[in-house]
Structure formats: C-alpha cells, structure tokens
Amino acid sequence: ELVNPEIEWLSDETEVAAEGCLSIPRVIVDVDRPLYARVRGRDRSGAEVLIEASGHEARVLQHEIDHLDGVLILDRTEKKQRKGAMKALRRGESYSPHEED
C-alpha cells in the first residue's frame, strides 16, 4: 500500500517501452521512463514508506503517480504516436505503433 506517493528521485538512465492503460482502452504507445525510482509515501496507518524500484516496478509506480497528477500515457509519448492514438480513439479503433510497422 502506498498513500500520497511522491517521487523523490528518478535516474537519468531511461528506457522506452510499450505501455497501455485502463483509462485509455485499446491503446498502446511507447513511453520513455527512468529505469530507477525512489518513491516516498505512507501506509494506511500513517507510517512512512520508502520504495526504491527498478525496471517494471519503477515504470508502474511512475505510471500510477502520473494518474494522481493528471498525466496520461498520451501526454508522455511522442507526437506522432499521440496523434495516431487520438485518431484511432475518435474512430473507436485500437492503436499500437507496432502494428504500423
């Protein structure tokens, strides 16, 4: 559990990976995120929690904290993919840049 998480530190080293989101069904875009993250928050009882994460766990933490900050994966992807995803959403279609290759 993690209540009121705040990103304390992100690595300079990043990785681009495909991400989807339940808030934007049927859309997958590439997102560049730091590989390592340190996040501080609290548990339900109010005790401080510190998480040092890497790889997929770091990506998921950043993704979920983005939601709390009003940021979606479409805000984090390159312009071409954002445009393609928005066009597909307007048509009620799925989108993945990897299907275009």
List active site positions: 64
Judge whether 5 and 65 are in contact, CB under 8 Å: yes
Assign 3-class secondary structure to 38-63: EEEEECCCCCEEEEEEEHHHHHHHHH
Give the angle subtended at the CA of 89 by the CAs of 32 and 16, to the nearest 5°.
10
First to last CA, the chain: 39
> What is the length of the chain?
101
